[in-house]
């Protein structure tokens, strides 16, 4: 299912957009980050905030060398690869080239695919719409569960039980359009279960990408 294995290996990836901003979510929230957003996702979250990314064909296959060159123009040493679902692609060339330039590399993924790429930070955001692979529980440095329904708290805990790294950080993030309803529940939950933390999509408050 790794689309690039038949598409000139990993020398080109469907690039939707790249932008220099502040990581808005999770453990690295507040940190300057260069975002690389790859097109293509078949997970189908009904509340996905970047549905324009889903069709990979709508996004130009771009040489990895060009993506890396652009990342180097920003002042940060922190790159976030997101999508779409970046786990659909073999990311080893991209990640290796970013590492060659001493950049730290994080990925945002649903964990629905096993992928190649030696990332420094694996943010795992599991979805009901397509089950994660076992590897996701092994690689996760951060578990970030979107809360869209009251039953999602139990669901989040079930995923946390399967994590392999004992120091994996745990986050609950309200679904953006339901924040008013779920943020108070998340706050109460975190006060009861302090191993969890609140994650907000702070870039949306800051009106930045
Ligand atoms: C757009 S996804 C792309 C990366 C990958 N496909 C994934 O889902 O992790 C980036 C992050 O945004 C979160 N997200 C997407 N839509 C959201 C929404 N409406 N409210 C809150 N978080 C959302 C996802 O759960 C994920 O953590
Ligand atoms: N600022 C900012 N932070 C983010 N963290 C995760 C994002 C994503 O869409 O993967 C994201 C995003 O789109 N913008
Ligand atoms: S997995 Fe990520 S990109 Fe794909 S639909 Fe879900 S939130 Fe959107
Ligand atoms: Mg986003």
Ligand closest to CA 148: 1
Nearest C-alpha neighbor of 142 from the set 129, 124, 128: 124
Which SS3 state, helix, strand or coil, does residue 117 take?
A: coil
- Tell which atom from ligand 3 comes closest to the C-alpha of 112: 1
49 annotated ligand binder: yes
- Please give the domain boundaries of the chain with CATH numbers for all domains: 3-206 (3.20.20.70)
Please report which confidence band the pLDDT of residue 9 belongs to, taking 50, 70 and 90 as the band edges.
low
ipTM over 0.95: yes
- Pocket test residue of 55, 107, 108, 109 for ligand 1, highest count of atoms within 8 A of CB: 108
Is the pLDDT reported for residue 175 higher than 70?
yes
- Please give the model's pTM, rounded to 2 decimal places: 0.96
In this structure, the strands spanning 12-22 and 61-63 are: antiparallel
User: Residue 11: CA atoms inside 13 Å, Cβ hemisphere, count?
Assistant: 4
């Amino acid at each position: 299912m790794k689309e690039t294995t038949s598409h000139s290996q990993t020398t080109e990836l469907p690039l939707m957009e790249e932008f220099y901003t502040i990581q808005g979510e999770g453990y690295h929230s507040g940190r300057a980050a260069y975002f690389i957003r790859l097109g293509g996702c078949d997970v189908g979250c009904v509340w996905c905030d970047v549905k324009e990314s889903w069709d990979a064909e709508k996004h130009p296959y771009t040489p990895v060398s060009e993506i890396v060159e652009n990342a180097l123009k920003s002042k940060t040493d922190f790159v976030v690869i997101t999508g779409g679902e970046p786990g659909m692609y073999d990311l080893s060339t991209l990640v290796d080239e970013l590492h060659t330039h001493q950049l730290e590399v994080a990925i945002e993924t649903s964990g629905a695919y096993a992928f190649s790429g030696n990332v420094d930070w694996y943010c795992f955001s599991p979805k009901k719409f397509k089950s994660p692979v076992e590897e996701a529980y092994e690689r996760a440095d951060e578990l970030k569960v979107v809360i869209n329904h009251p039953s999602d708290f139990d669901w989040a805990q079930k995923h946390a039980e399967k994590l392999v790294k004992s120091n994996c950080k745990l986050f609950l993030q309200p679904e953006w359009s339901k924040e008013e309803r779920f943020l108070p529940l998340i706050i109460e939950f975190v006060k009861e279960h302090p191993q969890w933390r609140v994650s907000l999509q702070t870039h949306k408050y800051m009106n930045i990408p």
